[in-house]
Amino acid sequence: MDRICDKLADHVTDEVFNDAVQGAPVLTGEMRASIHKIGHQVHVGTDHWHFVEYGTAPHIITPHGNYPLRDRSRGKWFGFIVHHPGATENPFMRRAIHQKRRLPYVGGV
């Protein structure tokens, strides 16, 4: 029974991982690149994934030190205060997890 459950869990983990990677936003590719599997769990390795998943209200962003905010990947500088307009939710993990899936036959008695 343990072998059967492990095979099913492996199958579902693989499918959730693939769906999460496919559904993740691609602005810089950072989010997709940070998604990985550990055992039968799928993790998103960024510190801001939940803002993408659940969305945000308008807010102010300030740096954590004496330096201006910037987007290194695009070479843009924003200054010391950014008035972020907020973002709509993009539930890539919830969509991946809550899929109705057909499980394969993995053996049994």
Could you read off the pLDDT of 75-89 as tens digits, one per residue?
899 999 999 999 999
Would you list the domain boundaries of the chain? 2-97
**What pLDDT digit, counting tens, does each position of 13-44 carry?**
999 999 999 999 887 788 999 999 999 999 99
Residue 92: which of 66, 54, 53, 60 has the closest Cα? 53
pLDDT value at position 108?
A: 60
User: How far is it, in rounded angstroms, from Cα 10 to Cα 60?
Assistant: 42
User: How far is it, in rounded angstroms, from Cα 19 to Cα 86?
Assistant: 25
Residue with tokens 């008695």: 109
**What pLDDT digit, counting tens, does each position of 38-47 carry?**
999 999 999 9
